[in-house]
Amino acid sequence: MEVILGQTKLVLMQGDITVQDTEAIVNAANEGLRGGGGVDGAIHRAGGPAIAEECRRIREERGGCPTGQAVLTSGGWLKARYVIHAVGPIWSGGNKGEDNLLASAYRNSLELAREHGIKSLSFPSLSTGAYRFPVDRAARIAMRTVVEYLEQHPDTFTEIRFILFSEPILKAYEEALNELLATKG
Ligand code: ADP
């Protein structure tokens, strides 16, 4: 699915984020910036040791990356020039500020990209794997946050892609975006 918002093409597709040719890709990182499983493991395997080395330096300088925030490294061997490591919340029932923290992780990733003049960006479905955030709820938050950001910054990005790993996750994001666009008329 593709929609145009301002100057930006917003694309939702099934795929593997490690092979995307956007200027940056977003990683679902953890606070320690230590490579984990899921999309994080795949990005570190495909991008090589330079990414982990930069993560180690950031950890030494700033102690890592708090939940809801994001940091930038190079992309190592990836096609993407940069990786934005965003830390989404661990789901623990929904009363621990998870919704706002997830929105912050998306917003801070977009903000960091904008600060670095990055024009195209691919996101995975943050927090919905090992961190167990319910997919439908995460999809609505992701779509709302990104669409709002693009409304506020209509000339910043050429393309924002969501690379969803499975058909059911893609469907959840498509439904969330369709619902949101319907309310906007
Ligand atoms: P988190 O710890 O934030 O939940 P995970 O990496 O466990 O992060 O999962 C986030 C999402 O990324 C899940 O939907 C998972 O299926 C998906 N995923 C795993 N590998 C890839 C990949 N190579 N490309 C895109 N998405 C992926």
- Nearest protein Cα to ligand 1, atom 13: 129
CA of 107 to the centre of ligand 1 (A): 18
What pLDDT, on the 0 to 100 scale, is given for residue 151? 97
pTM of the model: 0.98
Please state, in angstroms and rounded to a whole number, the distance separating the CA atoms of residues 127 and 113. Answer: 20
40 is catalytic: yes
Question: What domains sit in the chain, N to C, each tagged with a CATH number?
Answer: 2-184 (3.40.220.10)
Ligand 1, residue 166: give the atom nearest the CA. Answer: 16
Given a cut of 80, is residue 185 above it in pLDDT?
no
CA 150 – CA 139 distance, rounded (Å):
16
**Nearest-CA neighbor of 32 among 74, 73, 5, 60?**
60
Ligand 1 mean position, distance from CA 155 (Å): 29
Average pLDDT over the chain reads 97
pLDDT tier at 184, thresholds 50, 70, 90:
confident
Sorting pLDDT into bands at 50, 70 and 90, what band is 35?
Answer: confident
Confidence band for 107, pLDDT divided at 50, 70 and 90: very high
Residues 82-103 pLDDT 10s: 999 999 999 999 999 999 999 9
Spatial distance between the Cα atoms of 80 and 85, rounded to a whole number of angstroms: 13
How does 106-142 read in b/e, with b if 16+ C-beta sit within 10 Å? bbbbbbbbeeeebbbbbbbbbbbbebebebebbbbbb
**Ligand 1 cavity residues, CB under 6 Å:** 16-18, 28, 38-40, 42, 88, 124-131, 163, 165, 169
